[in-house]
Amino acid sequence: MKQWIAAAALVSLAGWTQADGLQSLEKFMTNSQAGEAQFTQTVTSPPKQGQSARVKTSSGSFAFQRPGKFKFIYQKPFDQTIVADGSVLTVYDADLNQVTQRQQSKALGQTPAALLASASSLQALKAEFDLSNLPDADGQQWLQATPKNKDGQIKQVKVGFKADELQTLEIEDGFGQRSVLSFVGFKPLPSLPGSAFEFAIPSGAEVIRQ
């Protein structure tokens, strides 16, 4: 869970047309009250002395429903599920058969999850993040979000859109770890059933509540 929050629900154009990034974010929040996509996540940790940077890659599926519901299902290289039902954040490690649960209000705050799924409006986001446009790159319009609370794990988040579709989420934490989530086949939806964000604790699983 810690790796996902520091790495885990987010978002300029050449010539610095100031509103472009914010407009893409606002359209995303307005037109995509729910959605689903496949993703690949690459986490790069800063190198230790005498060593190369460590890189880990994983992939899976993602879904969200505003406000405050989302699910990441990691399928490779390890099975892990992270699901928020609006009140409780659950992380399930299939290999360990271990479930960790905590209150969303204590777990998310100024995290990428707030950008993607938790905040209900652009104004709500501005209460938690300083938002600014970045020059376009890789055919995407970029926005940077910096948490106003400097005591959290997240240093900054960059979000890339293409034709108002969510493409990339880049997270940098205070320890220099960088996580890049690339979304494929994003489908905006009017809603998803509540059952999509329910989690049934597997039989025999160890349950840790924080």
pLDDT, tens only, 190-200: 889 989 999 99
How high is the pLDDT of residue 165? Answer: 86
Cα separation, 176 vs 196, in Å, equals: 34
Question: pTM for this one?
Answer: 0.80
Cα angle: 107, vertex 63, 95; to 5 degrees: 70
Cα separation, 28 vs 97, in Å, equals: 36
User: Which domains, ranges and CATH numbers included, belong to the chain?
Assistant: 2-205 (2.50.20.10)
pLDDT means over runs of 10, the chain (210 residues): 40 36 85 91 87 89 90 90 91 94 75 70 82 90 88 86 89 89 91 92 92
How high is the pLDDT of residue 125? Answer: 81
- String of DSSP letters for 80-95: EEEEEESSEEEEEETT
